[in-house]
Amino acid sequence: IGAIQLGSFAMADRYTYIPSVGIFIMAAWGAAEITSRWRYRKIFLGIAASLVLTGLLITTRAQVRCWQNSISLFKHALAVTGSNTFMQDNLAFEFQSENKVGEAVKLYREMIRLRPNNFRAYNHLAWYEATQRDPNISNPAEAMAMAVRACEITEYNEPYCLDTLAAAYASNDKFSEAAATAEKAEKLAESAGNKKLAEEVR
């Protein structure tokens, strides 16, 4: 019933299932009891049931549109929750997976505006500005500043951020710094047991 928070979310529609059982029992049995002596009981209950089902059909159809894909779902979540960096991060990830990097970059900028210490947003933005060839996205100088900020927030202990900083150094033709930073990222990844990341850095 959501009395104890599980994970990073505080509420979810599915938490209403069990608490609603009593309400539905009251509604079903209560309606039967109240209308037990009505002359046109069956007609009234039939019409009421039809109206309820029609309402559910309409609302279900509207809700299903939000679940067409992950992008439509996260866009809807943002529309109803406002400034929500968690949903923005999810939506940005989906944009990335569909190669809509420009849209993802816009979201990362907005995330930084909303939460100036969001190292993930700095890190992702720096990565794209350092690695993309699109002139509308590529920005080596800013990539360096963003990557440094991500590393500062994580106190240079996050291998993903160091990997991005290495890419930022390389995009600014600072290859010796890039190599040294990449080596540090590799060592941190290995010490954390993240062999996949260590291999990617290599």
DSSP per residue, 41-103: HHHHHHHHHHHHHHHHHHHHHHHHHHTSSHHHHHHHHHHHH-S-HHHHHHHHHHHHHTT-HHH
User: Per-residue confidence of the chain (202 residues) as pLDDT tens digits?
Assistant: 667 777 777 777 788 888 899 999 998 899 888 888 888 888 988 999 999 999 999 999 988 988 889 999 999 999 988 888 889 999 999 998 898 999 999 999 999 999 999 999 999 999 999 999 999 999 999 999 999 999 999 999 999 999 999 999 999 999 999 999 999 999 999 999 999 999 999 9
- Report angle CA 13, 18, 19 to the nearest 5 degrees: 85
167: which residues sit within 8 A by CB, 6+ positions away? 126, 127, 130, 131, 143, 147, 178
Q: Give me the pLDDT at residue 5, please.
A: 77
* pTM (predicted TM-score): 0.74
Res 32: pLDDT: 86
pLDDT single digits (tens) 89-127: 999 999 988 989 999 999 999 999 999 999 999 999 999
Residue 1's pLDDT is 63
